[in-house]
C-alpha cells in the first residue's frame, strides 16, 4: 500500500537516488491489524465532526491526534459518514503531507529544510539527522523511537535552524543539540 500520490514528488524522490527507502519503508510499515480501540477512536472522531461543514480535515486530524496516523480502516468509515467514495477520502489523505498512512515511531521529528534554515547550517543538520539516526526521510528508527520527516518552514526563521518534535518547536538546533534532544527522546519510556 503506497500513498505516494503527491504529484511530482514521486519522480523526484526516485531521481534523487532515494529509491531504496521506499522499498524499505514499505517493508517496515507492516500495518498492524485493526483493533477495537482503533475503531472506537475512528468512530468517535467521525461522529464528533460529522455535523461540521467541510468536516473531512477535522475528522482526519482528530483520528491522527488520537492514533498517531490514519489507519486504512478509517477510510470506509469516513466515506460512509460523508456519503463520499473511498477513493475520494483516500485522495484527500494522500494529498496532504501531514497525514500519515503508516504508524509513526514514538516521536515524530521534523527537520526544517526551508531557506532560512539552509542559510544557518540547515543542510548540515539534515545530513546529520539522517546519518546519526541511520534513516532517510519518512523512515522510523529500528527501535521504533523516532520517525524522521522533512518540513518546509516552521515559522521559526529568526531562530534557525529549527526542528519540531511532536507539538514542540525547537530553535537554534546545532548538530550537538540535535543529539541531546534525540537522546532525551530515546530515554522517554513509552506511555
Asked whether position 182 contacts another protein by CB under 8 A, the answer is: no
Task: Give the Cα separation of 111 and 50 in Å (integer).
Answer: 34
Using CB under 8 A, which of the segments 25-33, 38-46, 90-98, 138-146 binds another protein? 90-98
For residue 57, state whether it binds another protein (rule: CB under 8 A): yes
Provide the minimum distance between the beta carbon of 168 and another protein in the complex, in angstroms, as a whole number: 8
Q: Does 21 bind another protein (CB under 8 A)?
A: no
Burial 102-136 (b: 16+ CB within 10 A, else e): bbbbbbbbbbbbbebbbebebeebbebbeeebebb
Question: 543529539: which residue's cell?
Answer: 179
110 forms beta bridges with 149, 164
Stretch near another protein under the rule CB under 8 A, chosen from 39-47, 52-60, 101-109, 138-146:
52-60
Asked if 95 is part of the footprint of another protein (rule: CB under 8 A), the reply reads yes
Q: Is 171 in the site for another protein (CB under 8 A)?
A: yes
153 binds another protein (CB under 8 A): yes
CB nearer to another protein: pick between 35 and 119: 119
Residue with cell 524522521: 148
Is 19 a binder of another protein (CB under 8 A)? no
**Sign of the CA dihedral with 184 first, then 189, 190, and 191 last:** negative
Q: Which residues pair with 112 in a beta bridge?
A: 151
Binding flag, residue 185, another protein (CB under 8 A): no
Residue 35 CB, nearest approach to another protein (Å): 25
Q: How far is CA 106 from CA 1, 54, 59, 67, in A?
A: 22, 30, 22, 11
- What residues numbered 112-151 form the site for another protein, per CB under 8 A? 114-120, 151
The answer to whether the peptide bond before residue 161 is cis (omega within 30 degrees of 0) is: yes
- The yes or no reply on residue 22 touching another protein (CB under 8 A) is no
- List residues near another protein by CB under 8 A: 6-9, 11-12, 15, 53-58, 60-61, 82, 91-92, 95-99, 114-120, 151-160, 162, 164, 167-172
Amino acid at each position: 500500500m503506497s500513498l505516494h500520490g503527491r504529484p511530482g514528488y514521486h519522480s523526484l524522490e526516485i531521481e534523487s537516488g532515494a529509491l531504496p527507502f521506499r522499498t524499505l519503508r514499505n517493508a517496515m510499515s507492516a500495518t498492524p491489524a485493526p483493533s477495537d480501540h482503533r475503531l472506537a477512536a475512528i468512530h468517535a472522531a467521525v461522529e464528533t465532526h460529522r455535523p461540521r461543514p467541510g468536516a473531512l480535515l477535522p475528522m482526519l486530524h482528530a483520528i491522527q491526534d488520537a492514533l498517531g496516523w490514519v489507519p486504512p480502516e478509517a477510510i470506509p468509515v469516513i466515506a460512509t459518514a460523508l456519503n463520499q467514495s473511498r477513493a475520494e477520502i483516500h485522495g484527500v489523505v494522500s494529498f496532504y503531507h501531514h497525514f500519515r498512512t503508516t504508524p509513526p515511531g514514538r516521536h515524530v521529528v521534523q527537520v526544517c529544510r526551508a531557506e532560512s534554515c539552509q542559510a544557518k547550517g540547515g543542510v548540515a543538520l539534515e545530513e546529520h539527522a539522517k546519518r546519526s539516526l541511520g534513516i532517510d526521510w519518512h523512515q522510523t528508527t529500528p527501535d521504533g523511537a523516532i520517525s524522521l520527516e522533512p518540513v518546509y518552514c516552521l515559522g521559526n526563521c529568526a531562530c534557525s535552524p529549527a526542528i519540531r518534535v511532536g507539538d514542540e518547536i525547537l530553535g537554534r538546533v546545532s548538530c550537538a543539540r540535535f543529539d541531546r534532544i534525540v537522546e532525551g527522546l530515546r530515554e522517554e519510556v513509552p506511555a
